[in-house]
């Protein structure tokens, strides 16, 4: 039976994120629901995953602080989850979010991915919001 | 001096991906240049990062096989890199790619993120290309 046929019979799969491959973590991407822009990448442990599902707001596991981190808990720039997807192996998470304040990055930018590789250099491709640069 | 002012003076930053936080790896996202769809998430070690830069095609480190993996080396569904971005901490990579064959996932789907979380279930939101499902 091909994968396609199997799914035709049973289009629902067991929801079971695999935290075993990365020391209890899965990588979690936040993508802007309005623009499609990739805003940031963080990691979730079981606690952060469940907090995200339960509250509808993106939570991550802060590796530097060693604790649960609700994105925007200090800045107010929370991420309201519109949709959650898991990849084929269930070891990566994609959260499609509404980014409160329009700023995901702690540097004040919309996206954390503002460093564009150009040759051997990184060029900052986006200025912090409101900086007038 | 604020971050904005500092960047006004020196908009170029040193290109130095940080492989130290994840046992020699950084997370690497592939995003479709045409549609903005997030196609997959993999990991890169220094070797995969450099191979990607050098060749212009996405390379990852296969954790299961313990070796350098050129995406599409078997299937032909290679990812031509249009642009590479690094996040604020330089520990995550975003590759904006042209997905050859229109299929990133080994299951035959455009994106690996075809599992949509609905309540306590995963619903397969995309059928394999050409399956007619």
Q: Averaged in consecutive runs of 10 residues, what is the pLDDT profile of chain A (133 residues)?
A: 42 87 96 97 98 98 95 97 97 98 95 94 84 57
Contact list, B106 vs chain A (CB under 8 Å): 88
* Count of positions (residues) in chain B: 133
In sequence order, the β-bridge partners of residue A57 are A80
In this complex, the residue of A2, A36, A120 whose CB is nearest that of residue B36 is: A36
Q: What is the DSSP letter of A50?
A: H
Three-class SS of residue B3? helix
In sequence order, the β-bridge partners of residue A29 are A41, A94
Restricting to A residues 74-113, those with a Cβ less than 8 Å away from any Cβ of B are: 83-90, 92, 94, 105-109, 112-113
Do the chains contact at B116 and A84, CB–CB below 8 Å?
yes
In sequence order, the β-bridge partners of residue B85 are A116, B94
A128 close to B (CB below 8 A): yes
Q: Report angle CA A45, A50, A55 to the nearest 5 degrees.
A: 130
Contact list, B83 vs chain A (CB under 8 Å): 116-117
B65 close to A (CB below 8 A): no
Contact list, B2 vs chain A (CB under 8 Å): 131
- Residue listed under structure tokens 């313990």: B66
B66 close to A (CB below 8 A): no
Three-class SS of residue A24? coil
Do the chains contact at A3 and B120, CB–CB below 8 Å?
no
Contact list, A125 vs chain B (CB under 8 Å): 85
Could you tell me where the beta strands, DSSP code E, fall in A45-118?
Answer: 59-62, 67-70, 79-86, 92-99, 115-118
H or E element that contains A116: strand A115-118
B15 close to A (CB below 8 A): yes
pTM for the model stands at 0.90
In sequence order, the β-bridge partners of residue A121 are A118, B14
Nearest residue in B to A53, CA atom: B119
Instruction: Let me know: does A7 contact B108? Beta carbons within 8 Å.
Output: no
Instruction: Let me know: does A93 contact A28? Beta carbons within 8 Å.
Output: yes
Listed residue (A51, A53, A57, A31) closest to B118, CA to CA? A53
Q: How far apart are CA A58 and CA A96, in angstroms?
A: 10
List all residues 6 or more positions away from A5 whose beta carbon is below 8 Å from its beta carbon: none
In this complex, the residue of A3, A88, A133 whose CB is nearest that of residue B4 is: A133
pLDDT value, residue A5:
42
pLDDT value, residue B59:
98
Residue numbers in chain B where pLDDT is lower than 70: 1-11, 130-133
Q: How far apart are CA B32 and CA A6, in angstroms?
A: 28
Three-class SS of residue A25? coil
Contact list, A105 vs chain B (CB under 8 Å): 87-88
The domains of chain A, with CATH numbers, are: 18-107 (3.10.20.810)
Q: How far apart are CA B114 and CA B120, in angstroms?
A: 16
Contact list, B32 vs chain A (CB under 8 Å): none
């Amino acid at each position: 039976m091909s994968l396609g046929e199997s799914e035709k019979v049973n289009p629902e799969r067991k929801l079971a994120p695999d935290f075993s491959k990365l020391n209890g973590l899965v990588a979690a991407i936040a993508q802007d629901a309005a623009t499609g822009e990739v805003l940031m990448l963080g990691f979730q442990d079981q606690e952060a995953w469940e907090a995200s599902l339960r509250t509808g707001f993106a939570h991550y596991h802060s590796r530097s602080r060693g604790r649960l981190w609700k994105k925007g808990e200090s800045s107010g720039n929370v991420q309201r989850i519109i949709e959650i997807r898991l990849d084929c192996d269930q070891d990566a998470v994609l959260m499609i979010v509404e980014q409160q304040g329009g700023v995901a990055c702690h540097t004040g930018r919309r996206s954390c991915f503002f460093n564009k590789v150009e040759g051997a250099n990184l060029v900052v491709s986006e200025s912090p919001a409101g900086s007038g640069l």
